[in-house]
Structure 1
Amino acid sequence: MPRHFVYCLIISVLIACEPATPSVVTPAVYHWQARLQLQPEERSYLAAAGIEKLYLRFFDVDFDEERQEVVPLSILEVADSLAGIREVVPTVFITNRTFQALDETGVDTLGARMLRLLTKLERQLPEQIEVREWQLDCDWTATTRPAFFHLLERLRAFLAERGDRLSATIRLHQLAYPQQTGVPPVDRGMLMCYNTGDLQEPETENSILELGAVAPYLGQADQYPLPLDLVLPAFSWGVLFREGRMIRLIHPLSPAHLSDTSRFLALQPPWYQVRKSTYLEGYYLYRDDRLRLEAVEVDTLQAAARLLHRRLRPEDRTIALYHLDTTLVNRYPHGLLPQIARLFEEP
């Protein structure tokens, strides 16, 4: 047997016997309110969970029908020292109709305006905060994809000049069908594992997360062209139906909001019926309206994490919960995210 062949065989065996390197997983959370002022219980939760990274919604972008122009909405007001937080990822949500109203020149103008506002808000963050990434959230379609991807290219070029990266949210259908939906020109994707059911269908039990609806999208997940971070749902809402038609979302909403039995009748879970016309969280409800109360149980989140761990390729990633509020603090133990992170650290 040739000597060089023996050497190659020995090297191959040694490499095969080396233990797989564990992945580095960073826990994080999204903050989606227009005012950044952490409550003591939120600060305690973050510290107990070891969360030092925050995806911070800076503003939304939408087309104003009355003014006939694209405008920023709900611009963030920073009123917190963010003690204990080391890294912030500025995040912007953009509606699809924004791009339907713009030509290429309009997209360039939008990009320039977003750069100015993002950098202005970035400078308002406390001194200790690191910003190494921006994120754009848009459920693009075949029609809006060219304009959205053009905007991504422009922002990514700006960030590359200062050594930072750009990420974009990835829905499950975009993960499953990249050839049809396109792969955004960014450095990383943030896989959104929620909003899996039909919100407007009365027969849906939980539109936030149904595990049976997730699995079919994960067949080729380990081959997606971008490195993927992951965000899991830690929120609740009520879906209001009137005469069988979905009217609106009411959130946050919990059983405590519906505990007044003179106004609300508990039906077969997850349904409630309005006994008499009343206000709920600022919305007027009519007698016989129905509410589908939706939330994700801890064991469902754990099962989703195990499923995704099996289907996604091992790599360093951030795993986040959406989003920081009283529902997260009161419903989900602070040990949940560290437990999920440890699972994904395994080779």
Structure 2
Amino acid sequence: MDSYHRLKPFFLPLLFILLINCSHPPRRVDSAYYYWKTGDASDSERNFLKVQGIRKLYVRQLDVDWSDVQGAIPLNGTSIETLNYQLVKYDSFAVQMIPVVFITNKTFERISPGDIPQLAKRLVRRCLPSYDSVDIRYEENHYIDFHGGPIKPKEIQFDCDWTVKTSPAYFQFLKEVRKLTPDSITISATIRLHQYKYPDKTGVPPVNRGMLMVYNISDPKQYTPEQSIFDINKASAYFTQTKKYQLPLDIALPAWSWCLVFRDHQFYQIENGITESDLQQQAFLKPTGNHYYQVTQDTTYHDLFLRPGDEIKAEGVDDTQLQQAAQLAGKAVNTPDFTVTLFELSEQEINRYSHETLNQVYSSFR
């Protein structure tokens, strides 16, 4: 084998990084991950953060949905304090924790304008320690012997797939949050690809920063052969504009997998705990192409009640697609200091990618 072919596997990733770096001035890029599951981090997840040098986590604080009886209600979330305590105590590893609040679009379809300030105050209280007298009393009871006390976040992020119809209510909510928080606290909001491409139509949220989500390319509930998490051809269509987005942008990239269950070609359920390699080992499944697997007999699998004819579609982002997403996202960068975060931190997902691949992805932005 000649020397060129021996060096080729190592040369191409290096060339990719050098070309990217030569195209812009030096940047300060923080490496981060989303922690979206509920419950404690495993030993391997905590060790992964330390090995990779990840010092920033966007942690799912809680979800907010709409109830016709109770109005806007909080749902499941993660104890940021517990996660922070585990990292510091067991791993001697300090990580900046950023609480993320997911709010359904339905909430802003239904909420009355008069109730928006109260929702903003309740959520700020949940994210900032000692916010007011109500929060101080809660801390006295909850934190006095609990994991060293509450964290003191420098940023709060809100995640909502708002629409043209709900943008007035959502943006008013964000303005209320801004009025309630010190200027030292960064308020950020997630930006979907359609919101990024059509800001004149969807509006630009009144926050300090946006987190551009370079994934969820299409509706996963549609029975199609295409990948819904990330497809380079579909994603490229969102990066054709020459005008930079009006907010400083951070970047979120897809590093996860899931399985979609269909019954009679209609969406049935999402299952996050199954990989395609798991499906390939099941005797009751028959591969039918395009990462679909058909159920051949009545069975229960991962608490799923399946019957003959049901189909499971495996979706995931491999090393090549992750690097494609990173290269595409580079077109949206509009500030010298920003964060690149991968979704999501879980034991199943971090084993999909090598240390070298992740380093190449993060380094491609520097």
With the length of structure 1 as denominator, give the TM-score of the two structures: 0.87
* Contact 2:249 2:332 (C-alpha < 8 Å) held by counterparts: no
**How big is each residue's C-alpha offset from its partner over 1:52-94, in whole Å with a ceiling of 9 and x where there is no partner?**
10001100000124x3421100032343322323311110000
- Counterparts of 1:311 and 1:95 in 2: how far apart (Å)? 26
Equivalence for 1:70: 72
Equivalence for 1:268: 289
**Range moving further from structure 2, 280-289 or 256-265:** 256-265
Q: Give, in angstroms, the shift of residue 120 of structure 1.
A: 5.0
Q: Give, in angstroms, the shift of residue 156 of structure 1.
A: 1.7
**How big is each residue's C-alpha offset from its partner over 1:10-41, in whole Å with a ceiling of 9 and x where there is no partner?**
xxxxxxxxx96400000000011222x22111
Which residue of 8, 28, 41 corresponds with 1:38?
Answer: 41
Over 3 Å counting, the alpha-carbon distance change for 1:135 and 1:284 in structure 2 is: same
Which residue of 245, 252, 266 corresponds with 1:224?
Answer: 245
Q: Give, in angstroms, the shift of residue 308 of structure 1.
A: 2.1
- Counterparts of 1:339 and 1:43 in 2: how far apart (Å)? 21
Q: What one-letter code is carried by the residue in structure 2 that aligns with 1:156?
A: R
Over 3 Å counting, the alpha-carbon distance change for 1:39 and 1:250 in structure 2 is: same
Equivalence for 2:171: 149
- Counterparts of 1:219 and 1:104 in 2: how far apart (Å)? 36
- Counterparts of 1:294 and 1:210 in 2: how far apart (Å)? 11
Equivalence for 1:11: none
SS class of match (2:233):
helix
Q: Give, in angstroms, the shift of residue 43 of structure 1.
A: 1.3
- Counterparts of 2:228 and 2:196 in 1: how far apart (Å)? 19
- Counterparts of 2:192 and 2:50 in 1: how far apart (Å)? 29
- Counterparts of 2:114 and 2:363 in 1: how far apart (Å)? 46
Over 3 Å counting, the alpha-carbon distance change for 1:286 and 1:121 in structure 2 is: farther
Which residue of 242, 253, 270 corresponds with 2:274?
Answer: 253
SS class of match (2:323):
helix
Two-structure CA RMSD over aligned residues (Å): 2.2
- Counterparts of 2:215 and 2:148 in 1: how far apart (Å)? 31
SS class of match (2:26):
coil
- Counterparts of 2:42 and 2:62 in 1: how far apart (Å)? 21
* Contact 2:71 2:111 (C-alpha < 8 Å) held by counterparts: no
The yes-or-no answer on 1:135 pairing with 2:181 is no
Q: Give, in angstroms, the shift of residue 129 of structure 1.
A: 5.4
- Counterparts of 1:148 and 1:105 in 2: how far apart (Å)? 13
- Counterparts of 2:316 and 2:173 in 1: how far apart (Å)? 34
- Counterparts of 1:319 and 1:343 in 2: how far apart (Å)? 10
User: Among the aligned pairs, what percent are the same residue?
Assistant: 35
SS class of match (2:328):
helix
- Counterparts of 2:107 and 2:323 in 1: how far apart (Å)? 36
Over 3 Å counting, the alpha-carbon distance change for 1:129 and 1:52 in structure 2 is: farther
- Counterparts of 2:326 and 2:53 in 1: how far apart (Å)? 18
* Contact 2:217 2:229 (C-alpha < 8 Å) held by counterparts: yes
Equivalences for residues 14-93 of structure 1 within 5 A: 21-35=25-39, 37-65=40-68, 67-77=69-79, 78-80=81-83, 81=85, 82-83=87-88, 84-93=93-102
Q: Give, in angstroms, the shift of residue 321 of structure 1.
A: 0.6
- Counterparts of 1:68 and 1:128 in 2: how far apart (Å)? 28
Q: Give, in angstroms, the shift of residue 267 of structure 1.
A: 2.5
Q: Give, in angstroms, the shift of residue 278 of structure 1.
A: 1.7
Q: What one-letter code is carried by the residue in structure 2 that aligns with 1:73?
A: L
**Range moving further from structure 2, 297-306 or 334-343:** 334-343
Which residue of 106, 114, 123 corresponds with 1:114?
Answer: 123
- Counterparts of 2:220 and 2:162 in 1: how far apart (Å)? 19
Equivalence for 2:211: 190
With the length of structure 2 as denominator, give the TM-score of the two structures: 0.83
Q: Give, in angstroms, the shift of residue 244 of structure 1.
A: 1.3
Equivalence for 1:7: none
- Counterparts of 1:31 and 1:219 in 2: how far apart (Å)? 31
Over 3 Å counting, the alpha-carbon distance change for 1:291 and 1:72 in structure 2 is: same
Q: Give, in angstroms, the shift of residue 162 of structure 1.
A: 5.0
Equivalences for residues 150-299 of structure 1 within 5 A: 150-159=172-181, 161=182, 163-220=184-241, 223-299=244-320
- Counterparts of 2:227 and 2:221 in 1: how far apart (Å)? 11
> What is the count of residue pairs matched by the alignment?
324
**Range moving further from structure 2, 144-153 or 239-248:** 239-248
- Structure 1 unaligned spans of 5+: 1-18
Equivalence for 1:14: none
